[in-house]
Structure 1
């Protein structure tokens, strides 16, 4: 057997990390500028300075590309608190989450919301990302408060309610998540909802 047959052929070029980053950056930029509907693989390739096949080798389509661009952000975790004080823990956690969401471009969030309404594939991808983020967010939101002091399903309720309130405040109301807003959310909504009631039920 010849030497050329014994040697395993090289299987393509190794991925260029700079191209990966350029594609994801171009995707986020165009999402803000033109929206999801007008964004295309061709326009992303042109903005990133690569060929269209280069994009398709990395992402199966527009929804997968946009999801990858959204996921490509610095990982962050909520503050680890062991205060035993539910109010203090909720204030810190809501403040942290508000900062995380406010750090996203409002135009990007708007483009994603619009795209999710028209593209089921994008909606499915964004729900997958949301479930992952919710799992991380609700791992330790209550500062070591015992479970028997919390209402059933408290972590899930927190994950459903708080991001929606923050997004509404930032995107639709166009107002900051200042200390007064955070205290309103915690004192008037979360504490009454998440604390286990000690009042006996009437029979």
Structure 2
């Protein structure tokens, strides 16, 4: 038996996106610890209940907001491992000071808050790892990947190096960095002789 339809207005995808973008803006400005549902609502001219109807709390709101950074991620299949790896990393090699500020602030909060860490992992890391796994599987089917490697560990290399670049080195996260990571670390690990 099907569930009865929910009463009330249907969700407005544009409004939801506005709320998530406002969350990112405030995260970049004040950080996770000082972010409040009230501040996001005020920033958007919305009531707190508007946010609480969509998200049970700040943790879930932040996870969905951060997932926007990868919302358009697709699994590339150009027929070339290097090109596919670079295309799947394209989210990272655009200049985005807001993204960098959000990432830097969230890393500290995630280290202290296991619930936040798990929620952000499920919203951001798991989908990113799935794209990486698919790119590797496609390349393996074409005969480009010969090594037996732990793709779960290898999928973490690029995000880890990006986070290090943002938080420790304060250097640019650009195409040159992505090419260096792909050409000197990831691709050699995937294509070394078995």
Q: Give the TM interval when normalised to the shorter protein.
A: 0.7 to 0.9
Structure 1 residue corresponding to 2:143, chosen from 140, 146, 149: 146
Contact conserved, 1:32 with 1:107, CA < 8 A, in 2? yes
For residue 98 of structure 1, report the CA deviation from its aligned partner. 4.1
For residue 161 of structure 1, report the CA deviation from its aligned partner. 1.6
For residue 201 of structure 1, what is the aligned residue in structure 2? none
**TM-score (normalizing by structure 1):** 0.75
For residue 181 of structure 2, what is the aligned residue in structure 1? 185
Structure 1 residue corresponding to 2:117, chosen from 117, 120, 123: 123
2: distance between equivalents of 1:184 and 1:69? 29
For residue 55 of structure 1, report the CA deviation from its aligned partner. 1.0
For residue 4 of structure 1, what is the aligned residue in structure 2? none
For residue 75 of structure 1, what is the aligned residue in structure 2? 72
2: distance between equivalents of 1:106 and 1:117? 17
For residue 97 of structure 1, report the CA deviation from its aligned partner. 4.1
**TM-score (normalizing by structure 2):** 0.78
2: distance between equivalents of 1:190 and 1:14? 44
Contact conserved, 2:86 with 2:179, CA < 8 A, in 1? no
Correspondence 1:134 to 2:129? yes
For residue 93 of structure 2, what is the aligned residue in structure 1? 102
Correspondence 1:111 to 2:105? yes
- Please identify, of 29-38 and 179-188, the stretch whose mean Cα deviation from structure 2 is larger: 179-188
| Structure 1 SS opposite 2:39 | helix
**Could you say which structure has the larger radius of gyration?**
1
State the Cα deviation string for residues 103-143 of structure 1 (Å, max 9, x = none).
45211111221221222221011111211221022202464
1: distance between equivalents of 2:7 and 2:133? 43
Please, which runs of 5 or more residues in structure 1 have no aligned partner? 1-7, 84-88, 199-203
Contact conserved, 2:110 with 2:116, CA < 8 A, in 1? yes
Distance 1:140 1:110, change over 3 A: same
State the Cα deviation string for residues 147-185 of structure 1 (Å, max 9, x = none).
7x5222353343122221233234432333556544543
State the Cα deviation string for residues 31-64 of structure 1 (Å, max 9, x = none).
0000000001111111111111111111000000
The alignment covers a number of residue pairs equal to 184
Contact conserved, 1:98 with 1:166, CA < 8 A, in 2? no
